[in-house]
Amino acid sequence: MKAAVLVFPGINRERDMARALRLVSGREPAMVWHAETALPPGTDLVVVPGGFSYGDYLRCGAIAARSPVMDAVRAFAADGGLVLGVCNGFQILCESGLLPGVLMRNARLKFICHDVHLRVERSDTPFTRGYNAGQVIRVPVAHGEGNYAADEDTIRRLEGDGRVLYRYCSATGEIGDMHNINGAAQSIAGIVNEGGNVLGMMPHPENHVEDIMGRTDGRGLFAGLVAHLDKAA
Amino acid sequence: MRGRNGLFKYVVQMKARVTVTLKSGILDPQGKAIEGALRSLGVDGIASVRQGKVFDIELPDVDRAKAEATLREAADKLLANTVIENYRVEVVS
């Protein structure tokens, strides 16, 4: 795996992400500054980490989505390259047009910072092959704007094409308003694009990858990506 | 002309305003919270509140049509997320 982690002013989860990638893949990811116009040669995974790019000015992710490096990421994704956006990274991918919809203010207006349960909806994708379909994992969230919204057609298409990969749920995997922490449409925590090669998710799998963190539920996502890329190589 | 910092210094000729509002049907939790706060303050007679953004912009153009085209480009490319927001462009003076 040759991962590239994008770095924008105001991002603060890039080192957690780099650590998780290093731990699971055994390789040091490249850190790529937002002003770059090209990705390092041989990049096979682009990661847009979490944080508060540009202080969330204007709209979350709006300014980062229009930075020079994102043109390179769009070309990389159009070519089938794997892109993972977490939290602010998800917001940036939506604002950049790589994913449909938008992340709105949490329905109950609170910044939510605690562990949540996610149901893995399918296991036959590069982003979920480290898990079983229906498996419940526990990872943290930390966001004020994670309330996924899109027009009815888009939601219907996402559901019809099986593009919702992660959903907020109870500890035993039930979906419902009670477990839908931020009011997201269809309890959506993570979706992929039409090509299935771009994932955006609000929760932070990179923060549950070592025993010292209390849990290792997030490892499966990275291990799955490593397995997918090793097989492709 | 160039200013001391090497950037172009425009002579402001025109003032404009871009107003960005949420499309109808998009839930606005912030507007709802403000609505509730007004009610608890005893401000009666308000049916609903929707929150938006206003951008006051200065332009060097004297050509109104050209200025409006620039403002629309700015709104489409950055100021508004047209998935959820509408915008209105007006030249003020």
* Interface predicted TM-score (ipTM): 0.82
Supply the pLDDT for residue A85. 98
Supply the pLDDT for residue A1. 93
Q: What stretches of chain A show up as alpha helix (H) in DSSP?
A: 14-25, 68-78, 88-95, 152-160, 219-232
Determine, for residues A109 and B78 on separate chains, whether the beta-carbon distance falls below 8 Å: no
Closest alpha carbon within chain A to B23:
A151
Is B72:B89 a contact under the CB 8 Å cutoff? Answer: yes
Question: What's the token pair of residue B47?
Answer: 């049916």
CATH class of B14-91: alpha beta
Res B2 pLDDT > 90: no
Q: What is the mean pLDDT of residues B86-93?
A: 94
Going by C-alpha positions, the residue among A61, A179, A164, A66 that lies closest to residue A112 is: A179
Query: Under CATH, domain A3-232 is a member of which superfamily?
Result: Class I glutamine amidotransferase (GATase) domain (3.40.50.880)
What is the domain partition of chain A in residue ranges?
A: 3-232
Supply the pLDDT for residue B5. 61
Supply the pLDDT for residue B7. 63
- 95-134 of A, contacting B, C-beta below 8 A: 95, 100-102, 104-109
Instruction: State how far Cα A166 lies from the chain centre.
Output: 10
Q: What is the mean pLDDT of residues A37-59?
A: 97
Res B3 pLDDT > 70: no
Rounded distance between C-alpha atoms, residue A86 and residue A13, angstroms: 9
Q: What is the mean pLDDT of residues A209-217?
A: 95
Residue type, A160: G
- In chain A, the percentage of residues whose pLDDT exceeds 70 is 100
Supply the pLDDT for residue B11. 81
Catalogue the active-site residues of A: 87, 204, 206
Q: What are the residues of chain B with a beta carbon less than 8 Å away from any beta carbon of chain A?
A: 26-27, 29-30, 33, 77-79, 81, 83-84
Supply the pLDDT for residue B61. 74
Supply the pLDDT for residue A145. 96
Supply the pLDDT for residue B10. 77
**Mean pLDDT over the full length of chain A:** 97
Going by C-alpha positions, the residue among A127, A95, A139, A118 that lies closest to residue A184 is: A118
Residues of A in contact with B84 (CB under 8 A): 102, 104, 149
Best of B18, B22, B27 to substitute, by most chain A Cβ atoms within 10 angstroms, is B27
Determine, for residues B29 and A109 on separate chains, whether the beta-carbon distance falls below 8 Å: yes
Q: CB neighbours of B69 closer than 8 A, spacing ≥ 6?
A: none
Q: What stretches of B1-93 show up as alpha helix (H) in DSSP?
A: 29-40, 64-74
Determine, for residues A151 and B77 on separate chains, whether the beta-carbon distance falls below 8 Å: no
Residues of A in contact with B18 (CB under 8 A): none
Determine, for residues A149 and B81 on separate chains, whether the beta-carbon distance falls below 8 Å: no
- Minimal Cα–Cα distance from A85 to chain B, Å? 19
Supply the pLDDT for residue A87. 98
- In chain A, the percentage of residues whose pLDDT exceeds 90 is 97
Q: What is the mean pLDDT of residues A175-204?
A: 98
Each residue's pLDDT tens digit, B22-69: 999 888 888 999 999 999 999 999 999 999 999 999 999 778 999 999
Supply the pLDDT for residue B12. 78
Supply the pLDDT for residue A205. 98
Each residue's pLDDT tens digit, B65-85: 999 999 999 999 999 999 899
Question: What's the token pair of residue A125?
Answer: 């994708």
Residues of A in contact with B26 (CB under 8 A): 104, 149
What is the domain partition of chain B in residue ranges?
A: 14-91
Each residue's pLDDT tens digit, A52-111: 999 999 999 999 999 999 999 999 999 999 999 999 999 999 999 999 999 999 998 899
Q: What is the mean pLDDT of residues A202-206?
A: 98
